[in-house]
Structure 1
């Protein structure tokens, strides 16, 4: 496995939060798919522990850098390649909260309230960061010349879609009925905000890479980023439809579910050529000795969203085919997570030499 020279690895900061995202969604999916196996719950708990250690460790390390040199924080906002990675901070926080609730709430019933409070706090923090990145980067696209478009521009746009999915799980834990309605409406707004901005950004980036210039060698893993929007929006549509049913008459419940299913069919069909292109692009990169960067973690979270979206679509539509797709994507995620974890360890060891 080839990695970059130690000097090329960034210090602790937003660029590394892809590891938090990938580990969080793997913990969540392991809990959902492997809960009946003897080894399933302990492995999911192990992954959740790793996820929290990554989130806390990276946050403390970055805060330490900023405390020693405050200008570092502003530099992450001025440099576009680093600015876009703040979207991963949002998604890392959101995925950790969701994984915590999924792995622990049903296992530690006596502490379920504390678990949901933790998830709510992380959702609030992650959503606030995500909305800031989406609106902030959207304004920069309009007001500044950011150079040639690329797929990493989607990183600050996707977080509200993750908020839409993870927020629906909190609807029944927000207290009064009016509060639940407002929470559900917030997830719907996040869904359409991310979908609208995502369609524009990813269409522009695909046009550039397919018609003008290929993805640079070191950035080949970014070819997976748009797939995160596809899988996450499928999961969000199903989650919103599921929660909306409690507020609707039976006829409307059926209609909403059919809309969510139809959306999922379209997205999963669209995912096929995008995944094939990402596989070919990444495989060529590996054969051409693609250098290791934290961007490798882009091969994890998007795969996990496909698994999650397919799983929820199978439950909503009743089509077992999508359950098979979900299990397959989860298995692929286990492989890509391992690849990225090993690559990270090797790169960090070489950095210390």
Structure 2
């Protein structure tokens, strides 16, 4: 049997080779934790399972944060090379998105267990998440413009990662409002969340437009990046989810400043807008499935990019379930549960392959470090 981490030469290279795309593991696990307890059967089991996954996700996030922090402490010059790399720098957006799944879990699982302390923790984490999301949303695109070399033929849906974090924070803001008193602070969070939605969704749609042009002119991505096609579902599903959650909270929050009619308008707009976005997402989902099946004729090499099968589908599923809850439509619930079952299967597949790759050590590889060493 192959010994763990032999490909790395020494165990300390685990830190040297650690990259932020590992936070996609936390994103995927976190969204499954939020969904699994929504199943209408075996509620006590699914709730316990969801709580366990949430705790596991916290442990994963802490582990990844420590490893990545140690890389900056012990290998700062090499760690800085991420800003030169046209692909790996995009994964900095996964850090605030992974954090968002944890604070959402605080509200869903932590509050029933620990009470109001979990809400206070979630509120603090939300502010941290917003700050990180904004820094990434501004910083990574600027670095792309300033330092990196990109071409249309090499573009993938990974470009979306630094942009989507703000709308994920917007969704979390809406969930947080359901646990806060309806005062001026809540109004500020509501309006700020809509601003975060605009910061994210509109640039994401611009990227999706360019991505469609890239696919027409330069055909499908290589098989190593086939799963990246699923990432297009992320900003669409999260955008719909944020509109639904914020719209649901708007009437209650805005009544405190005598704008209840505006709140109702936001709620109706959220339902209408989410229907349109879910339709757009369904189209992209079909493209992603066909792209994956096309490359699956040959063996698809496993890499951490396979986690792109989880979080985008997860937020899309959450949007469907939230819409079903607001409209109280049984057939929408059925569709949502079907997507949730598929998501759970995909998570089991990807998680098992990741655990094996973690043990063997071959998933620890820093492309930006390799490019730096080749130049020197």
Do both share a fold (TM > 0.5)?
yes
* 1:222 pairs with 2:228: yes
Q: In terms of mean alpha carbon deviation, does 178-187 or 117-126 score higher?
A: 117-126
- What is aligned with 1:265? 275
Q: Note the C-alpha offset of 1:166.
A: 0.6
- What is aligned with 1:122? 125
SS state at 1:214 partner: coil
Change in Cα spacing, 1:77 to 1:270, as seen in structure 2 (3 Å) is same
SS state at 1:170 partner: helix
SS state at 2:37 partner: helix
- What is aligned with 1:147? 151
Superposed counterparts of 1:90-105, under 5 Å: 90-105=96-111
SS state at 2:115 partner: helix
Task: Say whether the 8 Å CA contact 1:35–1:41 is kept in structure 2.
Answer: no
Change in Cα spacing, 1:186 to 1:252, as seen in structure 2 (3 Å) is closer
Q: Note the C-alpha offset of 1:72.
A: 3.3
* 1:255 pairs with 2:265: yes
- What is aligned with 2:365? none
Q: Note the C-alpha offset of 1:334.
A: 0.4
Q: In terms of mean alpha carbon deviation, does 330-339 or 208-217 score higher?
A: 208-217
Q: In terms of mean alpha carbon deviation, does 299-308 or 253-262 score higher?
A: 253-262
Structure 2, gaps ≥5 residues long:
1-5, 9-13, 363-376
Task: Say whether the 8 Å CA contact 1:172–1:180 is kept in structure 2.
Answer: no
- What is aligned with 2:299? 289
Superposed counterparts of 1:11-160, under 5 Å: 11-33=17-39, 37-106=43-112, 108=113, 111-143=114-146, 145-148=149-152, 149-160=155-166
Q: Who wins on radius of gyration, i.e. which is larger? A: 2
Q: Note the C-alpha offset of 1:205.
A: 1.6
Q: Note the C-alpha offset of 1:302.
A: 0.6
* 1:277 pairs with 2:312: no
SS state at 2:228 partner: helix
2-structure distance, mates of 1:30, 1:287: 31
Superposed counterparts of 1:235-250, under 5 Å: 235-246=241-252, 247-248=254-255
2-structure distance, mates of 1:345, 1:258: 44
Task: Say whether the 8 Å CA contact 1:228–1:301 is kept in structure 2.
Answer: yes
1-structure distance, mates of 2:229, 2:136: 20
Q: 1:198 aligns with which of 191, 197, 204?
A: 204
- What is aligned with 1:307? 317
Structure 1, gaps ≥5 residues long:
none
SS state at 2:43 partner: coil
Q: Note the C-alpha offset of 1:229.
A: 1.1
Task: Say whether the 8 Å CA contact 1:292–1:347 is kept in structure 2.
Answer: no
Q: Note the C-alpha offset of 1:59.
A: 0.9
SS state at 2:44 partner: coil
Q: How many residues are aligned here? A: 345
2-structure distance, mates of 1:14, 1:175: 36
Q: 1:327 aligns with which of 337, 350, 354?
A: 337
